[in-house]
Structure formats: structure tokens, C-alpha cells
Structure 1
Amino acid sequence: MSFQPVFTLFWENVKESIQNGTYAKLTLAKTIGDTELKNIYVRPVLLENDVFSLSVTARYKTEEVESFHTLDEAFIILAPYMNNPFLTALLFTTENDITFKLNKKRVGSIIEQAPTFKNASDVILEMKAKGII
């Protein structure tokens, strides 16, 4: 069974947390073996004219590469990194921490835990104040 439907469900939680103003951060981590790409961090940003975007920062052994994308574009960019090289995606919200995990058989699961962060990201708070979300 493919893990893609479970990752799509996980991404719905990402969208929901942004719309609800509870999003703190998203990290792709736990690589398979020693890879050049170590982590991917996703954080919200407001571009010119209060346009919402996601900053996707790929952290390699020797450099960091940042790019900006819409919510839907970010999903298309991040999905292929699941299972190659990442086994875990962690969504931190003010309501709970949601973890997407792939096991040894590459079956996806979603686990919810108590929240790590008390406050949403500064950009999410700014968007709430401006009435964008």
C-alpha cells in the first residue's frame, strides 16, 4: 500500500492549521542513511502586498537553499521527499503536534501528541491581526 494517501491526509492538517491560525512550523526529518539533504523546514512568510507564501528551506551538509511557494506548490515539492530521503514529517501547531511517519515497510501513519509550541508562528499571528486568515 502506498503511503501517499496518508501523507495527503497529513497535508490537510497543515492546511487546516494555517487556516485556523494555529500553525507553528513544519519539519521533514529523519533521513534514511547518511544523505546530503539533512532537513527541510517550512515556515509561513508574508511577501509584498501581504501575499501569503511558504518558505521552504532545504538544509544540506554544506548549504541551505530557500524557495517560496503557495500551499499547493509546497505539497507538490515536499511529497517526493517522503521516503526518499525522509521518514518523518512533523507539524507543530498550538493545538497539538502531528507526526507523519513511515515504518520499515514504508506504511504511513499519523500520530498526534501534546503541543510543543504555545504560540503560532509570528507570521500567522500577523495574518490574524490583519484579517488575512
Structure 2
Amino acid sequence: MPYQETFIEFWEQVKESYQEGRFAKLTLAKTIGKPNLKNIFVRPLSSGKDLKVLVKLRYQSRDTEDEESELTLDEAFTFLKPYLKTHFWSVLLFTTTKDVTLKINKKGIGKITENAPTFQNVIIAESGF
């Protein structure tokens, strides 16, 4: 299945885990080439019913400061989508019940796999704003 469709299916699991209080962290990893952007992390924020997350861009270079944005889950989906297959080959969803990985191959095909959970608790991020 093309990675764009697989990412939509994957994101449904992200939303469901957030709504059920199981969402611990999301990470974009496996960079393509040698970019300055090392990872993108997404953590839950405690902000009522808006399903807000803290999106953090982490850079390789110490000269480049990490960037943080406070977004809704829908905004985070739109924000992260362009980074797939251009900057990162995989997205990892960590929940308290399972870890879900979306891997994209060089042909643009996405595959979702599930593993035992890495996190046992949800840690709410604190906004730097």
C-alpha cells in the first residue's frame, strides 16, 4: 500500500491512543541521507479536550536550536506528512499497550508492524511557551 494511505491508517491509531490516554510518544526516525534534522518527537500535552501535542524538531548541529510547536493532532498530521520519504523512513508510535511502527521502503510502500510496549506510563510534555 502506498505510504500516504498507510500513514492515514497509522494516524488513526495515534488518535485512538491519545483519546484513550495510552499515547506516550511519537518519533520520526531513520533519516534519509545526512540532514541536519535528526528527529522529530511528538508528546502529549495536558490541555483539556483539544488533543494538543508538543512537536519538537531535534537537529544534529549544536549551532541549530531545537524547535518546538504546540499543535492539535490534526495540525500535527499535516505538519509531519511532508517529512515522510523526504527526510525520514519510519514513524514510531509508543503507547502503553503496544508500539506501532510505520516503515517506508524505497519504492514508497508503507508497512505497519506492532511490538510489545516500550513505555508503561504516559508522560505529559511541558510546553516551553
Q: What interval of TM-score do these two structures reach, taking the shorter chain for normalisation?
A: 0.7 to 0.9
CA displacement at 1:87 relative to structure 2: 0.4
Unpaired runs of 5+ in structure 2? none
| Structural mapping, 1:82-101, within 5 Å | 82-101=84-103
Identify the residue that residue 56 of structure 1 maps to in structure 2.
55
Q: Which has the higher helix share?
A: 1
How far does residue 36 in structure 1 lie from its aligned partner after superposition? 1.3
CA distance in 2 between counterparts of 1:98 and 1:91 reads 5
Unaligned runs of 5+ in 1: 124-133
Match of 1:29 in 2: 29
Task: State TM-score, norm by structure 2.
Answer: 0.87
Tell me how far apart the structure 2 counterparts of residues 28 and 40 of structure 1 sit (CA, whole Å). Answer: 5
Task: Choose which of 102, 116, 119 in structure 1 pairs with 2:118.
Answer: 116
SS at match of 2:46: strand
Please give the TM-score of this superposition, normalised by the length of structure 1.
Answer: 0.85
Identity %: 53
SS at match of 1:121: coil
Does structure 1 retain, via aligned residues, the 8 Å contact 2:24–2:94? Answer: yes
CA contact (8 A) 2:89 2:105 kept: yes
Measured after TM superposition, the shift of residue 121 of structure 1 is 2.5
Which residue is equivalent to 1:131? none
Q: CA deviation at 1:52?
A: 4.2
| Number of positions where the alignment pairs a residue of Structure 1 with one of Structure 2 | 122
Cα contact 2:43–2:124 (8 A) shared by 1: no
Secondary structure (helix, strand or coil) at the match of 1:110 reads strand
